[in-house]
């Protein structure tokens, strides 16, 4: 897969390839990377392209400018308060937008959110939380749409956040619209690491990508699949999945070479 820019002028998202790593960057900085209909279509298309790439092990979701994403662009066709819109129009629109969360969460590759600024509402915060790993600069902040706007938070945040922060904390955040700083996010497991600035963030994410891709993309995907299965599986079921995944790995040339090298080191020690 070659470096690809999404259709449009200028592009609203850019897909860049570095070996077994793909960097998918939101590129609407003047609008705080708020998601409009064109950006949504672009992202869904690029995510479908990434999903089909057998030789990719990691996908990094990043953004240009000082804001990761301000969520949905309320001046776009994605806004739910358009004159004459019915409840069923709103349902269709919300389900279309939610395809973005499903697409990110469902990628077989390991996904990393490189959060260089605020991530707001479902479109921003939800997009980050749909990734497997999240790293952020110290100044980044997160919050959901408060119920004082007389709506319920969408984009899967209720499901995603409860798995890290628990029911009560998630309920408090969504009811009050409380701003979550990186210290709080780190304590509750929403982030894996916090760094001082964007330069340090790029360096950290690049280092993590290098470590993850020291094995083959197939092994990375199998490990992710195994862990996802284990979240809701019984021990006996998980042992079966691990055995099957391991058996597949045992038949690869890379495994044979690594074991031969390990045995050689043991003989010399």
Residue 85 pLDDT more than 70?
no
Top-confidence residue, 38 or 268: 38
pLDDT for the residue numbered 188 = 97
Q: Within this chain, do residues 88 and 22 fall inside the same structural domain, yes or no?
A: yes
Distances (CA, A) of 42 to 7, 31, 68, 143, 159: 7, 16, 17, 25, 25
- What's the Rg (C-alpha) of the chain? 20
pLDDT for the residue numbered 109 = 98
pLDDT for the residue numbered 81 = 56
pLDDT for the residue numbered 83 = 63
Half-sphere exposure of 145 (CA within 13 A, CB side): 19
Q: Within this chain, do residues 122 and 156 fall inside the same structural domain, yes or no?
A: yes
Residue 90 pLDDT more than 70?
no
Residue 2 pLDDT more than 50?
no
Residue range 51-66: average pLDDT? Answer: 97
Q: Within this chain, do residues 83 and 108 fall inside the same structural domain, yes or no?
A: yes
Residue range 30-35: average pLDDT? Answer: 94
Q: Within this chain, do residues 205 and 240 fall inside the same structural domain, yes or no?
A: no
Identify the band that residue 121 occupies on the pLDDT scale cut at 50, 70 and 90: confident
Q: Within this chain, do residues 172 and 112 fall inside the same structural domain, yes or no?
A: yes
pLDDT for the residue numbered 96 = 84
CATH number of 84's domain? 3.90.226.10
Cβ contact 155:128 at 8 Å: no
The contacts of residue 194 (CB under 8 Å, 6+ apart) are 135, 136, 137, 138, 182, 183, 186
Q: How many domains does the chain have?
A: 2
Q: Within this chain, do residues 221 and 248 fall inside the same structural domain, yes or no?
A: yes
Share of the chain above pLDDT 90, in %: 71
Q: Within this chain, do residues 151 and 121 fall inside the same structural domain, yes or no?
A: yes
pLDDT in tens, 202-255: 999 999 999 999 999 999 999 999 999 999 999 999 999 999 999 999 889 888
Nearest of 97, 93, 137, 144 to residue 113 by alpha carbon: 137
Q: Within this chain, do residues 181 and 68 fall inside the same structural domain, yes or no?
A: yes
Interstrand relation of 141-143 and 180-181 (parallel, antiparallel or unpaired): antiparallel
Among the candidates 212, 230, 260, a domain finishes at 212
CA angle 185/175/232 to nearest 5° reads: 60
3-state secondary structure of 4: strand
Top-confidence residue, 158 or 87: 158
Domain span holding position 251: 217-268
Between the CA atoms of 62, 66, 68 and 69, what dihedral angle is there, to the nearest 10 degrees? -140
Cβ contact 115:137 at 8 Å: yes
pLDDT for the residue numbered 87 = 63
Among the candidates 190, 212, 234, a domain finishes at 212
Q: Within this chain, do residues 162 and 208 fall inside the same structural domain, yes or no?
A: yes
Look at 39-53, 73-87, 115-129, 179-193 and tell me which has the smallest mean pLDDT.
73-87
Residue 216 and residue 203: Cα distance in Å, rounded? 22
Q: Within this chain, do residues 50 and 94 fall inside the same structural domain, yes or no?
A: yes
Q: How many CB atoms lie within 10 A of CB 4?
A: 18
3-state secondary structure of 164: helix
**Residue 33 region, left (φ>0) first, then alpha (ψ -120 to 50), else beta?**
left
Residue 5 pLDDT more than 60?
no
Among the candidates 212, 240, 257, a domain finishes at 212
Cβ contact 112:59 at 8 Å: yes
Distances (CA, A) of 268 to 93, 257, 258, 259, 263: 64, 17, 16, 14, 9
Q: Within this chain, do residues 145 and 124 fall inside the same structural domain, yes or no?
A: yes
Q: Within this chain, do residues 54 and 91 fall inside the same structural domain, yes or no?
A: yes
Residue 181 pLDDT more than 80?
yes
């Amino acid at each position: 897969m070659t470096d690809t820019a999404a259709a449009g002028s200028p592009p609203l998202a850019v897909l860049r390839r570095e070996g077994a790593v793909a960097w998918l960057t939101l590129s609407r900085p003047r609008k705080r990377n708020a998601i409009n209909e064109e950006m949504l279509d672009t992202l869904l298309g690029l995510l479908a392209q990434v999903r089909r790439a057998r030789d990719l092990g990691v996908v990094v979701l990043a953004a240009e400018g000082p804001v990761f994403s301000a969520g949905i662009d309320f001046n776009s066709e994605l806004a739910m308060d358009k004159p004459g819109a019915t409840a069923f129009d709103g349902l269709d629109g919300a389900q279309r937008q939610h395809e973005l969360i499903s697409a990110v969460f469902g990628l077989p590759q390991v996904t990393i959110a490189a959060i260089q600024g605020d991530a707001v509402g479902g479109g921003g915060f939800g997009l980050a939380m749909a990734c497997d790993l999240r790293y952020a600069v110290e100044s980044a902040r997160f919050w959901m749409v408060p119920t004082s706007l007389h709506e319920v938070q969408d984009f899967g945040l209720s499901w995603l956040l409860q798995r890290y922060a628990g029911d009560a904390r998630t309920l408090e955040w969504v009811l009050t619209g409380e701003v979550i700083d990186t210290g709080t996010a780190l304590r509750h497991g929403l982030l894996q690491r916090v760094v001082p600035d964007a330069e340090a963030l790029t360096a950290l994410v690049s280092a993590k990508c290098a470590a993850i891709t020291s094995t083959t993309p197939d092994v990375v995907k199998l490990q992710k699949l195994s862990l996802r299965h284990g979240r809701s599986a019984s021990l006996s079921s998980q042992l079966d999945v691990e055995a099957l995944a391991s058996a597949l790995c045992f038949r690869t040339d890379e495994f044979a070479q690594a074991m031969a090298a390990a045995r050689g080191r043991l003989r010399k020690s």
